[in-house]
Structure 1
């Protein structure tokens, strides 16, 4: 039998003509001339590995208070020789929350790529723990879904304030409306309901005190707000009038007409208290 000439030195043994051997990822091909050559299956050695993309997120859980945001780091890892653009998407957000990727489309391959995920909540986002599902897509190729958690807890809400006073002087038997002022210290609108007004005290003038003329909160009556709820209170200062509510719907104070309060309540100063409920959007 004629010998096969050795074209290169390697730890691979010489294979006789007609034999095919798969060794260490190299395919030995015997040519008709009896020369043995070594060839790899492809440039990356991935003959049996399909193209794929994998997502990794850190951290896997975050906790935020209402009205704040949480950030996650997203790593997109290719395999099987994948090279291309990957679009990132998310589902499972709580009501009122929004999410944004930066960038939303990442260029992947041959190495990995990263993106930032920001999830923003509002002061009205429901409390609880939520499972957020993320995936990457490139054409018909999709990554496995990765789930991270977001816990929303109650924040420290600043109280809104109600103020105001009668728009004119009170006289026995006369009613005067109150244009309530609403001050919202937050950065989102409030839905205000349940407005109430009450007279809690009266300070008589010096002459009424000297003459022992009485004047009490019972000498006044209050007609409560009769407009529609809720009243939208934007950040900052607003009022019933700026909200387009007619004066006929505002709260009103009436000074009763009695023989005793004619002089005692003349020039008196009223202490008025207000209450209401505001729900953030």
Structure 2
């Protein structure tokens, strides 16, 4: 199909742009809310962490009263009850000193009618990274991060005690030493609202974040999906609870609230750490450790009201995964510390049914579960957001005595071509006692294949849909796939026979010539889909040579982009099926400048 942009259309577009430009000054003059990173959120030098706190600035004078969510909102949204907590200690690790930390905390708690949390009452304590009172130099940027952390813990667990441990600097080693000190002083829940790229990792840092019997949480960052060397540690350490972010809003549903992925919340695949056991049966689209594990409100547009007077103006509204991390830490404290020898991360996966599953939204364009929400685990939100605190309890407890279940599949076999899917219904039946929550997983899959369950956890006596998807590269053969249902430490299995049809030898591939194309420099192509067929109906992939600068072709055969250089270009598109058969078509692109 030919695409020709007429001169009249160009003139109209230019006129419209000019009109919009004329309106720009008045539009810019309007006061609109803006998201502003905290001073400590700026890019840090190599080997130094940045905080993950973002302020919502609504414009105009600073508010005299709080704006944003308060404690009752957080407690309602996450089904925590009213003013929960009974003396558990949550440690907050941050860099530098906030000299107003305790007095600002007092103002915050007084505003919301929470009990006082002071040094004299034993509720609040502040130490340097060596456990003493020789505090580091002050920093107002990290000061507001400290404020956010203290107020978030207070909102989610007003009855918790709070230990603030101030690292000498934001150097990764200093922050790690502060974590060690928090654990040494008895904290069983340690919140870390900072992150650094794995490219800055140095041997030994992980030891600071591996303390069996202690829950250590860390923020996944505020820059969307970042994998490989840009993945954010310490959240990617397998012994750390990686906390992602959501957008929280009130809703007219039974919960009273709804959540979607916060589009800037962090997730990703580690470049350093192997896939841990608790993720082996989870579809993560990642061969290594994937984050996040769990999530909570982080969008600054749906953020928390906080009070800070150290270089700040009083009442502020903040979000970021720096909000989600202390919220999760404070909620976990209400469920109790991990068992001796455990770090607790596996509990989340064992108790997946106890969380609110966040199924909509995205934090990137990766095209996989790493950046897109869906049923069950996903990168931006992990297993979901808390629905009460039972999901943080040990996942190794077996069903109550006398309770048991069975697992079955219907059908118990299926045949697929490479690149397609087979489905089966997983039935769970109570064999004795009452219903228990059964988590489903699959093993024995062939190369390139993946399994998903909808839902991922069911009450015994209910069913789930199993979908096994194969890749175009999945080798032919018959495979015995094991479907496992687990409730606590009790597991039962069922077998599924998967046959992947043979693909030896390619078919005859025919590529339809799209005809010569005409386009203009600087005007975006809407996408030209190359049509092709294969005599064996095998999956096809596409490539092209000779494309004009600015245009690319996807593996599915869509040519798109914005041409940058005028000229005539001879293009050849090649389609290749999964058996090696190929076909080609040649045509030209005429790119005009003006």
Shorter-chain TM-score bucket reads 0.3 to 0.5
| Structure ranking higher in strand proportion | 1
TM-score w.r.t. structure 1 length? 0.43
TM-score w.r.t. structure 2 length? 0.22
Structure having the higher Rg: 1
